[in-house]
Homo-oligomer: A and B are copies of this chain.
Amino acid sequence: MEKAFMRRLAEPKLENPIFVQGLPGFGNVGRIAAHLLIKFCDAKPFAELYSPSFPDYVSIDGKGICSLPRYEFYYVPVVKNNLVIMTGEIQPSFDDVVAHYEVCEDVIDFVETLGCHFIVTMGGIPIAEDKAQVYIAATSSRLANEFMEKGAVIYSKGRIVGGTGLTLAIAKERKLDGVSLLGTTTGFRADREAGFLVFKFLMSALGKEIKEGLVENNAPEEQ
């Protein structure tokens, strides 16, 4: 494995899907929001990304089975605007900058082949005071304003570290549209409230388009 590779588990038919990504990071906000989304939408796994830049430990599941670190892709089949959701237990090391760029490119390459034109990355931003809020960064000021009207605060003059920012900025280079939804969090420990807030915001923001799919599902369980 000198290069990352994508393993396909299924070949779902997807129409103009929205791509939503939630990885570990500050307060694990992005990953928690992605898990809530997967459960709520009853999303199904259909692809896995492996990379030699992922950490060199393996995880053992409850049955004793080992697995390489990976990003997992899920899909939600609905009538209009299907969802593709990506999450994982890991990110490339923050030291390995080139790996970070490459993996984000691999993700964008893949979702472009699926027909995704809109990207949502979810993450946390650390704040000193405890004020629950969703911040927004976007590929255009039109989009930033649109999400601001939905209740987010523009993350003006900020920085987004790791995959949450890179995936969005690389998407912008490719002329894709997208936003980062950033939940405020006071700590590095898993922050379920912030994750839920980001999830709720995304649900509400994308509400119309995926409503039909969601009503078939039950209420969200907190992870």
Residues of A within 8 A of B (CB): 1-2, 50, 52-68, 92-102, 105, 136-141, 144-145, 148, 154-162, 165-166, 168-170, 172-173, 180
Q: Can you report 12 A-B residue pairs in the complex whose CB atoms are below 8 A from each other?
A: A2-B105, A53-B97, A56-B161, A56-B166, A57-B160, A63-B156, A65-B138, A65-B144, A66-B180, A67-B172, A96-B97, A98-B99
Which residues in B have their C-beta under 8 angstroms from that of A157? 59-62
A109 to chain B, nearest CB (A): 11
Contact among B66, B92, B141, B169 with A138 in the assembled complex (CB-CB below 8 Å): B66
Q: Tell me if A's interface is mostly helix, strand, loop or mixed.
A: mixed
A178 to chain B: closest residue by CB: B66
Contact among B61, B64, B144, B166 with A58 in the assembled complex (CB-CB below 8 Å): B166
Given contacts A139-B65, A180-B66, are A58 and B2 in contact (CB under 8 A)? no
Contact of A159 with B56 in the complex, beta carbons under 8 Å: no
A158 to chain B: closest residue by CB: B60
Which residues in B have their C-beta under 8 angstroms from that of A172? 65-68
Contact of A101 with B66 in the complex, beta carbons under 8 Å: no
Contact among B101, B139, B156, B168 with A52 in the assembled complex (CB-CB below 8 Å): B101
A64 to chain B, nearest CB (A): 3
Contact of A68 with B1 in the complex, beta carbons under 8 Å: no
Given contacts A66-B172, A68-B173, are A60 and B97 in contact (CB under 8 A)? no
Which residues in B have their C-beta under 8 angstroms from that of A1? 101-102, 105, 170
Which residues in B have their C-beta under 8 angstroms from that of A53? 97-98
Given contacts A63-B154, A137-B64, A154-B64, are A101 and B168 in contact (CB under 8 A)? no
Given contacts A102-B52, A105-B1, are A165 and B64 in contact (CB under 8 A)? no
